[in-house]
């Protein structure tokens, strides 16, 4: 049966179809910038919150209603898949992730387990179900996962690295083990995303958050085949948003690796990105999240400026180029969403 969300602006834009207005949602729309979220986090740790589906759903539904955005995303994290694959994950009190047993030697790759069963991540599927039940039928729900490279970067570095020297050294020094590890991440992540789709999400986003640290050549050789493997394994019919920020030079290869919507950051303009990627792809992005630290006037001008570039082109999803910063005043995030709804009406 057709559902209200099938005809939503978000789903239509993801399929590059015309919409009457530009859809908007924000990466990290549920998070520490929001008082309701901080209240819940006084009682439970971040990992506990992710593993308590009723609470995770509540956090996202509250954020969606508070902001008035056009899509929800499940409240979860890209790193949760690492636990059932054999890595010990922690989040430090200030928020940063840490792997207690990172992959450092070539023999460590054998210890990394392919995710054979989704059972240990069943709590994520329950988050999907509860969030879907609580969201208005007109709003699609987005599922997500990390891309193989970004997962490998965490698995090897053990935390949010600045220069990624260990992951880069690993892929050059141990190409065979690298291939084995990236294949495990691609296959496991496809299984994970297909389960999220089965549980009720309408779109999926693949976060390749750290990809911008690579050269074009290294992306082609060491990463692209595995991102493509992952995307090719996703059951057809669900729009895929492929987000690879940081280095616009990579965009043609990111596009070729797959996905219907390409997520971009502010380092490239929307017009430049469309020129590079091609008009038959949808684009998601790309306001600098720092703009949300300014004021209502600057936010409104920035939204107007961005939407002028888009004009009436179908296939645009308004978002930030990266997640909302914790210092963002919530009224600024609301002002952004309101401005997109005001200026993004397609006549």
228 is catalytic: no
User: Given the structure tokens 């050789």, which residue do they identify?
Assistant: 221
- d(CA 246, CA 337) in angstroms, rounded, equals 24
Stretch of residues binding ligand CP3 (CB under 6 A), selected from 28-36, 248-256, 284-292, 303-311: 28-36
| 77 is a contact residue toward ligand CP3 (CB under 6 A) | yes
| 69 is a contact residue toward ligand CP3 (CB under 6 A) | no
Give the three-class secondary structure for 116. coil
DSSP string, 289-305: GGGGGS-HHHHHHHHHH
33, 154, 174, 192: the catalytic one is 154
CB 226 within 8 A of CB 185: yes
Q: What element of type H or E holds 217?
A: helix 216-218
| 192 is a contact residue toward ligand CP3 (CB under 6 A) | no
28, 66, 132, 191: the catalytic one is 28
| 33 is a contact residue toward ligand CP3 (CB under 6 A) | no
Choose which of 15, 21, 36, 41 interacts with ligand CP3 (CB under 6 A). Answer: 41
Total residues at interface with ligand CP3 (CB under 6 A)? 23
Q: How many CA atoms lie within 13 A of 202 on its CB side?
A: 25
Give the three-class secondary structure for 172. helix
State the sign of the Cα–Cα–Cα–Cα dihedral 51, 53, 54, 59: positive
Considering the complex, state which of residue 16 and residue 152 has its C-beta at the smaller distance from ligand CP3.
Answer: 152
| Count of residues in the chain | 347
CB atoms within 10 A of CB 293: 14
- d(CA 142, CA 281) in angstroms, rounded, equals 18
Considering the complex, state which of residue 177 and residue 328 has its C-beta at the smaller distance from ligand CP3.
Answer: 328
Choose which of 298, 323, 330, 334 interacts with ligand CP3 (CB under 6 A). Answer: 323
Describe the crossing of helices 53-67 and 35-43 by its angle, rounded to 10 degrees: 170
Stretch of residues binding ligand CP3 (CB under 6 A), selected from 21-29, 185-193, 310-318, 337-345: 21-29
32 is catalytic: yes
Output the smallest distance, CB 91 to ligand CP3, in A: 6
15, 32, 228, 267: the catalytic one is 32
Written as six digits, the tokens of 114 are: 């392919």
Output the smallest distance, CB 101 to ligand CP3, in A: 18
Output the smallest distance, CB 74 to ligand CP3, in A: 7
- d(CA 176, CA 173) in angstroms, rounded, equals 9
| 96 is a contact residue toward ligand CP3 (CB under 6 A) | yes
| 102 is a contact residue toward ligand CP3 (CB under 6 A) | no
Angle (CA) 49 69 336, round 5°: 110
| 127-186 positions binding ligand CP3, by CB under 6 A | 144, 160
41 is catalytic: yes
Binding site for ligand CP3 (CB under 6 A): 27-32, 41, 46, 73, 75-79, 91, 95-97, 144, 160, 207, 209, 323
Catalytic residue IDs: 28, 32, 41, 77, 154
């Amino acid at each position: 049966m057709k559902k209200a969300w099938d005809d939503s602006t978000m789903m239509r834009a993801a399929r590059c179809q015309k919409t009457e207005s530009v859809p908007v949602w924000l990466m990290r729309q549920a998070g520490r910038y929001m008082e309701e979220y901080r209240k819940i986090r006084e009682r439970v740790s971040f990992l506990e919150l992710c593993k308590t589906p009723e609470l995770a759903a509540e956090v996202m539904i509250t954020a969606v209603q508070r902001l008035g955005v056009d899509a929800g995303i499940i409240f979860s994290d890209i790193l949760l898949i690492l636990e059932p694959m054999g890595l010990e994950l922690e989040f430090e009190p200030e928020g940063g992730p840490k792997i207690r047993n990172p992959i450092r030697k070539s023999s460590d790759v054998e210890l990394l387990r392919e995710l054979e069963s989704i059972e240990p991540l069943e709590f994520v599927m329950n988050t999907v179900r509860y969030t879907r039940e609580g969201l208005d039928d007109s709003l699609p729900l987005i599922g997500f996962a990390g891309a193989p490279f970004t997962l490998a970067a965490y698995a090897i570095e053990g935390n949010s690295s600045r220069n990624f020297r260990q992951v880069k050294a690993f892929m050059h020094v141990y190409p065979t083990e690298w291939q084995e590890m990236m294949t495990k991440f691609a296959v496991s992540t496809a299984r994970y995303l297909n389960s999220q789709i089965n549980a009720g999400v309408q779109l999926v986003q693949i976060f390749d958050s750290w990809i911008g640290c690579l050269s074009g050549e290294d992306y082609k050789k060491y990463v692209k085949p595995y991102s493509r493997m992952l995307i090719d394994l996703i059951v057809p019919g669900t729009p895929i948003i492929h987000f690879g920020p940081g280095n616009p030079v990579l965009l043609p290869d990111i596009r070729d690796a797959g996905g219907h919507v390409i997520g971009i950051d502010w380092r490239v303009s929307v017009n430049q990105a469309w020129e590079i990627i091609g008009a038959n792809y949808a684009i998601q992005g790309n306001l600098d999240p720092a703009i949300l630290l300014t004021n209502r006037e600057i936010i409104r001008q920035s939204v107007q400026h961005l939407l002028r570039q888009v004009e009436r082109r179908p296939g645009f999803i308004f978002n930030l180029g990266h997640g909302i910063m914790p210092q963002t005043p919530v009224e600024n995030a609301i002002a952004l969403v309101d401005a997109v709804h005001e200026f993004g009406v397609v006549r």
